[in-house]
Amino acid sequence: MGALDSYGMIPFTEEHRMLREMLRKFCDEKLAPRAMELDEKKLFPHEAVKEMGELDLLGIYFPEEYGGAGMDFMSFIIAMDEINRVCGNTGITYTAHTSLCMAPIHDLGTEEQKKKFLPPLCSGEHIGCFGLSEPEAGSDAGNCRTTAIREGDHYVVNGAKQWITNGREARTMVATVKTDPSARRSHGISALIIDMQSEGVSVPKVEDKLGLRGSSTSQIFLDNVRVPVENLLGEENTGFGAFMQTLEGGRIGIGAMALGLAQGAYERAVAYVRERKTFDKLLAQHEPIQHFIANMATELEAARLMVYRAAWMKDQGMHITKEAAMAKLYASEVAMRITELAVQLHGGYGYTREYEVERMWRDAKLCTIGEGTSEIQRMVIARQVLGRAVRGKVD
């Protein structure tokens, strides 16, 4: 454990500090000037992906032998925090690519799979996505209806995926498929790596969203797509548990995204009330405004500690189901409160697109939905706390 960081009781090493300083400069100089245009014109952050690949950010916590930077998961969370402070579109693209597509390949893949798929993802040559949700299986993730029937040395995949971040741009998708259609619910599900350039893969629709408008959220149709058996991740029919494990890291990533959006809105609100005058006084001199800022600062600090604690626990190899859900739940709901207050403190200006707080408010809403809604997080936490009693069993 290194010296404590100025953000609070967070075990940052000197490497973490240097990374954050580099990221702050990169985000302020490169990402921030483009953030409003990405939102207004619904532009995918291609340039940012290329730059992050060059800086080894895309493979930040993967081993160097696969093209990664060889850092830890905490480093990824630092990057998510800093990137989302200025640009949620780049942040959601980053976490879907890294913690949802690359992580299961690294954690479940064979040596051959890791050597084949990770290097182009680490460099940004290929963009990744995660195919879990379906039209009938959003929060009900175990209700997978996409089938993969083995024919010789290939699986033939048929079905549809929904709400897929990076779906339009992705070359590599890690997807849930039903390899045993006769199995009930979450049983009989496997994980496949699918080349998005395969015949039969189509992206018929990109959603027009409230926020994160520069990130593509897509439907993906799979019509008799032939996938080599060698692209199976892990053992056949055991994919559901592995995907739930992937979501734990993804939830910490979304928690960090919420943290960054909240931080960005908070900084802008503080700057605004220090400069804006009403009734011959600065806004900052009005006691009710001071209380708003104090509440924002307190909740932001608490959320940061929860998110970074969960990241630290993951790096230690500890069980994090409850902590990841708590961090994601609390940080995402704090982000909604802080971004809304930031809009309110800006008054009429906050409701216009001239000021960035309205974009951050819109972007933050995804954090209470993606990687499991707030309601799902509460279910996960309750099950971890109450155990067998939740399922009607008594020890």
Q: How many helical (H) and strand (E) elements, i.e. helices and strands, does the chain have? A: 12, 10
Helix (H) or strand (E) holding 76: helix 73-86
The catalytic residue among 37, 54, 371, 375 is 371
Calculate ∠ Cα 162-104-203, nearest 5°. 25
Structure tokens at 315: 């790096």
Structure tokens at 302: 């608490």
Checking 46-49 for CB contacts under 8 A at 24+ apart, the result is 46/169, 48/87, 48/90, 48/93, 49/93, 49/97, 49/124, 49/127
d(CA 178, CA 157): 9
Residues 367 and 261 sit within 8 Å (Cβ to Cβ): yes
The set of residues, in sequence order, having a beta carbon less than 8 Å from that of 383 and lying 6+ positions away, is 390, 391
Q: How many CB atoms are located within 10 Å of the residue 230 CB?
A: 12
Beta-strand runs (E) in the chain: 128-131, 147-151, 154-165, 172-178, 189-195, 201-206, 217-228, 232-233, 277-278, 281-282
Has 323 been annotated as catalytic? no
Residues 345 and 269 sit within 8 Å (Cβ to Cβ): yes
Tracing tokens 């079905």 back to the chain, one arrives at 159
Strands 172-178, 128-131: parallel, antiparallel or unpaired by DSSP? parallel
Structure tokens at 307: 């998110």
Beta-strand runs (E) in 229-356: 232-233, 277-278, 281-282
d(CA 242, CA 120): 23
Sign of CA dihedral 216, 339, 52, 64: negative
Report the catalytic residues. 371
